[in-house]
Amino acid sequence: MGNEAPCKLRHGGKTYAGKALLETSELLFRGETRLKILFTAIRSLRACDGELHVRTKEGLSIFELAERAEKWREKIANPKTLLDKLGVKSGERISLTGEFAPGFLASLKKQGAVFQPKAAKGASWYFLATESRQDLQQVKTVARALEGSTALWIVYPKGQAAITETDVRSAGLRAGLTDIKVARFSATHTALKFVIRKAKR
């Protein structure tokens, strides 16, 4: 989920009331008009007197955000990486089950991840890639490797009838886990984070 705030937008010589939404890779405005600005399209960015000034090739958009202006500027200028959002730190032990995108694997290697056999005990993080309900049969096997507060991220496609968030959550619960966080994994996939229930640690 992104951040949102009531806001006035000055754009194209007009002022509009509504709310601004700061997402992972874009800045949105919803209200008397609608505006979408991709981070990659921003040519200049600054915060001044409670205003966020965003310039693209289409021109200047000014978001009146009060104390949020500088915080949002920092988040846009220095967006979190996927590994930051997932909580993975340099040199941690990673166990992968399933097929993951080359870009994700490259990010882990660049961060110095130590890869362990799938579903082996002792990893810092467990990741399970799923594309259908059938893939969720592996959740119990991976869950048995978790110890203490170690977490499992189950990655699944967005908006697919073959597997839904309810399916993923139910599989985790049946394995004795509880879900505590959701993250945008990619443009096509979501990740749900599970840990062992406190009573069973």
pLDDT tens-digit profile of 34-57?
Answer: 999 999 999 999 999 999 999 999
Query: Distance between CA atoms of 16 and 183, rounded to whole angstroms?
Result: 31
Please check whether residues 58 and 86 belong to one and the same domain. Answer: no
**pLDDT in the model for residue 2:** 57
Please check whether residues 41 and 57 belong to one and the same domain. Answer: yes
pLDDT category of residue 24 using cuts at 50, 70 and 90: confident
**pTM score, two decimals?**
0.73
Query: Distance between CA atoms of 53 and 60, rounded to whole angstroms?
Result: 7
Sign, CA dihedral 32-62-56-186, equals: negative
**Which residue, of 77, 110, 133, is where some domain finishes?**
77
Please check whether residues 43 and 59 belong to one and the same domain. Answer: yes
Please check whether residues 69 and 117 belong to one and the same domain. Answer: no
pLDDT in tens, 102-152: 999 999 999 999 999 999 999 999 999 999 999 999 999 999 999 999 999
**pLDDT in the model for residue 163:** 97
Please check whether residues 106 and 190 belong to one and the same domain. Answer: yes
Query: Distance between CA atoms of 22 and 68, rounded to whole angstroms?
Result: 11
Write the CATH number for 134.
3.40.50.150
**Which residue, of 24, 44, 77, is where some domain finishes?**
77
Q: How many domains does the chain fold into? A: 2
pLDDT in tens, 158-186: 999 999 999 999 999 999 999 999 998 99
Do residues 194 and 179 lie in contact, with contact meaning Cβ atoms separated by under 8 Å?
yes
By residue range, what is the domain housing residue 102? 82-200
Write the CATH number for 66.
2.30.29.30
pLDDT category of residue 25 using cuts at 50, 70 and 90: confident
Token couple for 118: 């799938």
The pLDDT of residue 1 is above 60: no
Please check whether residues 47 and 102 belong to one and the same domain. Answer: no
**pLDDT in the model for residue 198:** 84
Residue whose entry in the numeric block shows the structure tokens 């978001």:
63
Find, among 112, 108, 102, 116, the residue nearest to 82 by Cα: 108
Surface-to-core class of residue 31, CB atoms within 10 Å of its CB (0-12 exposed, 13-18 middle, 19+ buried):
middle
pLDDT in tens, 50-81: 999 999 999 999 999 999 999 999 999 998 88
Any alpha helices (H) in 7-157, and if so which ranges? 68-77, 82-86, 102-110, 139-143
Provide the 8-state DSSP code for 79.
P
